[in-house]
Amino acid sequence: MKPYIKPKYEMADVFSKYGSAYRNSRKLPLSDHKVMNAIESCRTEALGGHLDKCAKCDYTKNAYNSCRNRHCPKCQGMNQLKWIDKRVNEMLPIGYFHLVFTIPQELNSLCLMNKKEESSLNTQNPKNQFEKAFW
């Protein structure tokens, strides 16, 4: 597994700088506000702190609490690396490609209200699944 390299800018930095303007410029579901707030406050004084103590020696270190939100890149960083490592090990020695497609704008609100279904449709043959569900 590749070691974690801290990025120059984190999602929390972007949200802290532009999040408020972004949220004020559009109507977002409450769940999106909660995720953005969690990521912004993760490992800051806003969530309080605790004392990490080594089990083998007396070394201690103050640390801020994590948000533990499943969308937070800081909290899910190690899980993400493990997941990627597993997927890489499952890959066949053939060429792969990444497919991106756009859905009609008229379906945006329908997809926002049915995120689970929309997400599962997009991971399996998206064109056929989407047509089955909405046409």
Rounded to the nearest whole angstrom, what is the least distance from the CB of residue 76 to Zn ion in the complex? 8
Nearer to Zn ion, 65 or 129 (CB): 65
- CA dist., res. 67 & res. 64, Å (int): 10
Q: Which residues of 66-82 are buried (b: 16+ CB within 10 A; e: fewer)?
A: bbebeebebbeeeeeee
Closest CA to 22 of 7, 39, 9: 39
Nearer to Zn ion, 69 or 118 (CB): 69
Rounded to the nearest whole angstrom, what is the least distance from the CB of residue 10 to Zn ion in the complex? 10
Number of Cα atoms under 13 Å in the Cβ half of residue 7: 9
| Residue 35 within binding range of Zn ion, rule CB under 5 A | no
Contact 104, 87 (CB under 8 A): no
Select from 16, 65, 66, 114 the one that contacts Zn ion (CB under 5 A).
66
Nearer to Zn ion, 23 or 71 (CB): 71
Size of the site for Zn ion (CB under 5 A): 6
Considering only residues 68 to 127 of the shown chain, the ones binding Zn ion according to CB under 5 A are 72, 74-75
* Amino acid in the structure at residue 55: A
Select from 12, 35, 67, 121 the one that contacts Zn ion (CB under 5 A).
67
Q: What is the CA radius of gyration of the chain?
A: 20
Select from 12, 35, 36, 42 the one that contacts Zn ion (CB under 5 A).
42
Binding stretches for Zn ion (CB under 5 A): 42, 66-67, 72, 74-75
